[in-house]
A and B are shown apart, each in its own frame.
Chain A
Amino acid sequence: MSLLNKNSNKVLIQGLGRDGSFQAERCIEFGTNIVSGVHPTKAGEKFKQDIPIFGSVNEAVSETSPDIGLIFVPAPFAADAIIEQIDANISVIVCVTEGIPIADMVKVNEYLKGKMTRLIGPNCPGYLIPEKKLKVGIIPGSIVKPGNVGVVSRSGTLTYEAIVQLTKLGIGQSACVGIGGDPINGTSFVDVIDMFEEDDNTEAIVMIGEIGGTKEQEAAERIKNSVSKPVVASIVGQTAPEGRRMGHAGAVITGKSALASEKINSLKDAGVVIADSPTEIGQKVKELLKIK
């Protein structure tokens, strides 16, 4: 299911430690409807006076019927939390946690096959829909503005960078989605680009990719064949050496196809407007929307 046009937006937060609690408050401030929390040792307590905390996802689901799950559980237990939410039929799961073992994520990925759940992340800032006042994750609510540009990125900080530029230029966003920096994640560029293409509120798409893997090439292929909306993209990591992990677990050049230049060429070939640096994204979108 597309996360952009869901009717119900009740959010459950799993993992209410220091970071989870801090971020949960920011989500509430933005206007997100958080209906319950899950934490192993805080069951029975309330978060911010009126949000009930349960010991398990199943209990939280039967008492508060959330349809979106947000996970801040520490890495050693995060895969189990994702599986717990899949089993409870949560329709969209955002996992913010960084550093989940690859072996755990390949199992989660296999377990997800054929299920209705959409997983975003892990190691991601989540998503935010300004107009719906829905923030599921850690994208700062203060920088966004409702509008018609869809933003998708592997990097958290570059998602913010693009949003800040757009908002400064008076260009609002239909949705901002951070798919995460891990090599194995639930939602790809192609998935989000498809959602933006179908979404009536989205007029243009911004995509920020990086070195490693071939997901940007897959996106280019999809854009070429079935996307009618204009796309601006930027790829970082042109100066990265081969074989080294650039912070993100997935940002490693492992062969020719993982190079920034290869990704840029595929995207250019698909008619995508390339911003040489992410700092030029706002300007490129502005020019593009004017031409239209």
Chain B
Amino acid sequence: MQLHEYQAKNILNEHNVPIPFGKVASSDLECEEIAKSINGRSVIKAQVHAGGRGKAGGIKVTEGPEEAKKVAQEMLGSTLKTFQSGGTEFPINKVYVEEASDISREFYLAVTMDFDEKCPVIIFSTEGGMNIEEVAEKTPEKIIKIHVNPLIGPSPYKIRNLLSLLKLEKKVSQQIFSIIQNLYEIFNSLDCTLIEINPLAVTKKEKALALDAKITIDDDSIFRHSDLEDLFDKTQMNQAELKALSSDLAYIKLDGGKVGCMVNGAGLAMATMDITIKAGTAPANFLDVGGSASEERIEEAYKIIASDRDVEIILVNLFGGILRCDVAAKGIINGFKESNNSIPMVVVLRGTNSNDAKLLLEKSALDISFAEDLPSAALEIRNKLGIS
């Protein structure tokens, strides 16, 4: 679960990580009020779940309350698409209004999970404000990492060693030392998968400040953070994905594909998506209905796929185990009846009660062809879409 900058900054503030003065606003008037209390230049930042906001026009420096109000008017209610948002337009429902800072240096600081080393890692770079992937590629020597033993936590000596490499003023160094410790504390206590401060600024008055903040919390640990559930902003999600989530379906909308996919099992779902290349086309979605899907869940899955305007053909690939194919067939037929459309389907059914399922589907009004396996399904898709 991703948090907005304003939510992340609240958490930083609670854990004694210094941030510039700022408040969140949902209207232009609110924004104006906050800008008045700032008394000087303020930065207006669109609150969306995408990085790269600055380049996309989602961050603007304003001279006073009037300009702040005007910027908020433009931003609120509009959408933002950034180079990191993968084509998605994120709605701007809130802006964060922050006191502008006089910056002398910028660093990068993050804590994340290193899946190769299987432990948390603190990442520090002297190249603040830059895209860290780019820094890693072009100047890897400018990135310093501290791997953390999760049973012990970050050893202070390792943080001291890191800071000694930077040759900072003692006063600044001490501040960053505490920031790193506090940041790890947040990472650990909130079960984060990422907490990133980019940039971590040092002002002309030698004060270290988190100018931006990104926090992602491990979805699998939300059960022990019920207080964080309220921070989930549904408006930032693809609405079909949101609907799928409420039916316990793992669904991801993909750009540019025509083939709607319905599969049980994540691995099989990926293999099914991949086979659409052999059919000369591309998948419109990833969808894993799960190992023991009910009739209702399959019905919901069908409706989600069928309501996707990109979908020209549906590929169903079910391997009956605990999931019974006849139950799935009933779900598909119900979904078809309710959504009232006639998208052609290619169906591969194997395992538990697959013959019963075929009979049920044949009797229905669905435009269906059956295939023995995925390669023959690919051929069938090719024929039906008229791809030569």
Asked if A and B bind, the verdict is: yes
Please tell me if the beta carbons of A101 and B266 are within 8 angstroms of each other in the complex. no
Known interface pairs A241-B252, A277-B275, A280-B375; 12 further A-B residue pairs with C-beta atoms within 8 A, sorted by A's residue number: A101-B224, A102-B113, A110-B151, A155-B267, A164-B350, A234-B271, A236-B267, A239-B254, A242-B86, A244-B286, A251-B270, A279-B275
Q: Known contacts A184-B118, A246-B270; is A100 also within 8 Å of B220 by CB?
A: yes
Q: B-side interface residues toward A, CB under 8 Å?
A: 86, 113, 115-116, 118-120, 133, 149-151, 188, 191, 193, 218, 220-221, 223-224, 250, 252, 254-255, 257, 264-271, 273-278, 282-283, 286, 288, 291, 319, 321, 350, 373-375
Tell me if A210 counts as interface (CB < 8 A to partner B).
yes
Q: For the complex formed, measure the closest distance between the CB of A45 and the CB atoms of chain B, giving whole angstroms.
A: 25
Task: Give 26 CB contacts A-B under 8 Å.
Answer: A75-B220, A101-B191, A102-B113, A103-B188, A103-B191, A104-B221, A106-B118, A109-B119, A153-B267, A154-B267, A155-B265, A155-B270, A157-B267, A160-B321, A183-B113, A239-B274, A239-B277, A240-B286, A243-B86, A246-B252, A246-B286, A247-B286, A248-B267, A249-B220, A250-B115, A251-B266
Across the interface, B220 reaches (CB within 8 A) one of A101, A214, A280, namely A101
Tell me if A156 counts as interface (CB < 8 A to partner B).
yes
Question: Which of chain B's residues has its CB closest to A241's CB?
Answer: B254
Please tell me if the beta carbons of B118 and A277 are within 8 angstroms of each other in the complex. no
Task: Give the residues in chain B near A247, CB-CB below 8 Å.
Answer: 250, 265-267, 269-270, 286, 288
Per-position binary interface string of chain A over residues 186-230, scored 1 when its CB falls under 8 Å from any chain B CB and 0 otherwise: 000000000000000000000010110110000000000000000
Which residues of chain A in 84-126 are interfacial with respect to chain B, using CB atoms and an 8 Å cutoff? 99-104, 106-107, 109-111
Q: For the complex formed, measure the closest distance between the CB of A215 and the CB atoms of chain B, giving whole angstroms.
A: 9
Please tell me if the beta carbons of A181 and B191 are within 8 angstroms of each other in the complex. no
Q: For the complex formed, measure the closest distance between the CB of B234 and the CB atoms of chain A, giving whole angstroms.
A: 18
Tell me if A237 counts as interface (CB < 8 A to partner B).
yes
Task: Give the residues in chain A near B151, CB-CB below 8 Å.
Answer: 107, 110-111
Across the interface, A161 reaches (CB within 8 A) one of B191, B268, B274, namely B268
Task: Give the residues in chain A near B150, CB-CB below 8 Å.
Answer: 103, 106-107, 110
Question: Which of chain B's residues has its CB closest to A258's CB?
Answer: B115
Task: Give the residues in chain A near B118, CB-CB below 8 Å.
Answer: 106, 109-110, 184
Q: Known contacts A243-B86, A246-B252; is A106 also within 8 Å of B113 by CB?
A: yes
CA distance A250 to B223 in the complex (A): 20
Q: For the complex formed, measure the closest distance between the CB of B387 and the CB atoms of chain A, giving whole angstroms.
A: 16
Task: Give the residues in chain B near A102, CB-CB below 8 Å.
Answer: 113, 191, 193, 218, 220-221
Q: For the complex formed, measure the closest distance between the CB of A131 and the CB atoms of chain B, giving whole angstroms.
A: 23
Q: For the complex formed, measure the closest distance between the CB of A278 and the CB atoms of chain B, giving whole angstroms.
A: 5
Q: Known contacts A76-B223, A101-B220, A103-B188; is A278 also within 8 Å of B116 by CB?
A: no
Q: Known contacts A111-B151, A157-B268; is A214 also within 8 Å of B116 by CB?
A: yes
Q: A-side interface residues toward B, CB under 8 Å?
A: 75-76, 99-104, 106-107, 109-111, 140, 153-161, 164, 181, 183-184, 208, 210-211, 213-214, 234, 236-251, 255, 260, 276-280
Question: Which of chain A's residues has its CB closest to B286's CB?
Answer: A246
Task: Give the residues in chain B near A153, CB-CB below 8 Å.
Answer: 267
Q: For the complex formed, measure the closest distance between the CB of B162 and the CB atoms of chain A, giving whole angstroms.
A: 21
Please tell me if the beta carbons of A277 and B319 are within 8 angstroms of each other in the complex. no
Please tell me if the beta carbons of B374 and A103 are within 8 angstroms of each other in the complex. no
Question: Which of chain B's residues has its CB closest to A158's CB?
Answer: B267
CA distance A154 to B266 in the complex (A): 10
Q: For the complex formed, measure the closest distance between the CB of B136 and the CB atoms of chain A, giving whole angstroms.
A: 9
Please tell me if the beta carbons of A106 and B266 are within 8 angstroms of each other in the complex. no
Question: Which of chain A's residues has its CB closest to B189's CB?
Answer: A103
Across the interface, B274 reaches (CB within 8 A) one of A111, A154, A214, A238, namely A238
Task: Give the residues in chain A near B375, CB-CB below 8 Å.
Answer: 277, 279-280
Please tell me if the beta carbons of A210 and B191 are within 8 angstroms of each other in the complex. no
Across the interface, B321 reaches (CB within 8 A) one of A99, A103, A140, A213, namely A140
CA distance A234 to B275 in the complex (A): 13
Task: Give the residues in chain A near B113, CB-CB below 8 Å.
Answer: 102, 106, 183-184
Please tell me if the beta carbons of A161 and B319 are within 8 angstroms of each other in the complex. yes
Task: Give the residues in chain B near A210, CB-CB below 8 Å.
Answer: 267, 270
Q: For the complex formed, measure the closest distance between the CB of A137 and the CB atoms of chain B, giving whole angstroms.
A: 13
Please tell me if the beta carbons of B218 and A181 are within 8 angstroms of each other in the complex. no
Please tell me if the beta carbons of A161 and B271 are within 8 angstroms of each other in the complex. yes
Question: Which of chain B's residues has its CB closest to A212's CB?
Answer: B115
Task: Give the residues in chain A near B273, CB-CB below 8 Å.
Answer: 237, 239-240
Please tell me if the beta carbons of B116 and A238 are within 8 angstroms of each other in the complex. no
CA distance A101 to B192 in the complex (A): 10
Task: Give the residues in chain A near B120, CB-CB below 8 Å.
Answer: 106
Task: Give the residues in chain B near A103, CB-CB below 8 Å.
Answer: 150, 188, 191, 218, 221
Task: Give the residues in chain A near B321, CB-CB below 8 Å.
Answer: 140, 160
Q: For the complex formed, measure the closest distance between the CB of A281 and the CB atoms of chain B, giving whole angstroms.
A: 10
Task: Give the residues in chain A near B350, CB-CB below 8 Å.
Answer: 164
Task: Give the residues in chain B near A155, CB-CB below 8 Å.
Answer: 265-268, 270
Q: For the complex formed, measure the closest distance between the CB of A87 and the CB atoms of chain B, giving whole angstroms.
A: 15
CA distance A240 to B151 in the complex (A): 35
CA distance A247 to B221 in the complex (A): 16
Please tell me if the beta carbons of A241 and B264 are within 8 angstroms of each other in the complex. no
Question: Which of chain A's residues has its CB closest to B287's CB?
Answer: A247
Task: Give the residues in chain A near B271, CB-CB below 8 Å.
Answer: 158, 161, 234, 236, 277-279
Task: Give the residues in chain A near B277, CB-CB below 8 Å.
Answer: 238-239
Q: For the complex formed, measure the closest distance between the CB of A46 and the CB atoms of chain B, giving whole angstroms.
A: 25
Question: Which of chain A's residues has its CB closest to B377's CB?
Answer: A279
Task: Give the residues in chain B near A240, CB-CB below 8 Å.
Answer: 270, 273, 286
Across the interface, A236 reaches (CB within 8 A) one of B221, B274, B319, namely B274
Please tell me if the beta carbons of B119 and A241 are within 8 angstroms of each other in the complex. no
Question: Which of chain B's residues has its CB closest to A183's CB?
Answer: B115
Q: Known contacts A101-B218, A110-B151, A213-B115; is A208 also within 8 Å of B276 by CB?
A: no
Q: For the complex formed, measure the closest distance between the CB of A176 and the CB atoms of chain B, giving whole angstroms.
A: 14
CA distance A159 to B276 in the complex (A): 21
Q: Known contacts A100-B220, A101-B191, A236-B274; is A241 also within 8 Å of B255 by CB?
A: yes
